[in-house]
Amino acid sequence: MVLLVSSANCQVAGFALLTIGWILCTTSMGLAEWRVWYMDKPLVFPSGLACVGMWKVCIQHHNRNFLTPTQCYHYSYCDNFLPLDIRITQNLMLAASILGLLGKATIIFALRNVYMGLPHKNAACHPFIISGILNVAASVCISIAVLWNYYSIMNEAGVAFPPSLHLPFKPDMQEVGSAILMASLAAFLLLLSGLSFLSYKSPVVSQVHPVGSDI
């Protein structure tokens, strides 16, 4: 029993990394600071700042030397103006959140078996392996979403927002927001946790034969 528990210390740390990574993933998904737009030429559209997220855009305009209150507008799958990169990122982040949650439930079951002295004998369906695969898959989904958004920002991709939002198709300048950094950290933590789960090996308990017995 003690040998089984001591062998899972790395996986307990992986569980903590998984919990933090999953929280960061779900939090970043709801933030607007994925792309930060700066609008400095008020010839057609008012100058200001806009944060473009996966599910909402938050706008703060400059109005005669003072800032107007930040206004956020939510959007969903039904909005046709969303570009392909945002639509795919929505699905990838949702998939990562679900995979991380399933991995969290699986690792709780796995650690329960270890601490109760009931490890799985069949390595092919070992819950540690299943949880590791789920978390690595979640990390891959987040990484693709982060890299795609970073590529769109570097190429100054635009979004055809409705005219009622008073936003240009492309800003004068855009940069990476804090949500992308948070999602990147979440992907890294989920990857580490997944690798720690995949590295688990059930300890082999050697049998001691009595003296004089036939081996």
170 backbone dihedrals φ, ψ, rounded to 5°: -130, 140
Do 51 and 39 meet the contact criterion of CB atoms below 8 Å apart?
A: no
CATH of the domain at 188: 1.20.140
Do 9 and 185 meet the contact criterion of CB atoms below 8 Å apart?
A: no
Summarize pLDDT for 173-208 with one digit per residue, the tens.
899 999 999 999 999 999 999 988 887 665 544 444
Q: Is residue 109 part of a domain?
A: yes
- The tally of domains found in the chain comes to 1
Do 101 and 62 meet the contact criterion of CB atoms below 8 Å apart?
A: no
Q: Is residue 38 part of a domain?
A: no
Q: Is residue 204 part of a domain?
A: no
User: How many Å apart are CA 18 and CA 132, to the nearest integer?
Assistant: 10
Q: Is residue 43 part of a domain?
A: no
Give residue 179's Cα distance to chain centre: 10
Q: Is residue 51 part of a domain?
A: no
Summarize pLDDT for 115-148 with one digit per residue, the tens.
666 555 554 448 888 889 999 999 999 999 999 9
User: How many Å apart are CA 195 and CA 8, to the nearest integer?
Assistant: 13
pTM (2 decimals)?
0.80
User: How many Å apart are CA 174 and CA 48, to the nearest integer?
Assistant: 12
Coil, strand, or helix at residue 195? Answer: helix
pLDDT of 210 above 70: no
Q: Is residue 152 part of a domain?
A: yes
65 backbone dihedrals φ, ψ, rounded to 5°: 70, 15
Summarize pLDDT for 78-100 with one digit per residue, the tens.
788 888 889 999 999 999 999 99
Q: Is residue 118 part of a domain?
A: yes
Coil, strand, or helix at residue 177? Answer: coil
Q: Which residue has the higher pLDDT, 47 or 139?
A: 139
Give how far Cα 172 sits from Cα of 7, 60, 102, 111, Å: 55, 15, 42, 52
Summarize pLDDT for 142-155 with one digit per residue, the tens.
999 999 999 999 98
Q: Is residue 160 part of a domain?
A: yes
Containing domain of residue 106, as a range? 2-31+77-198
Coil, strand, or helix at residue 150? Answer: helix
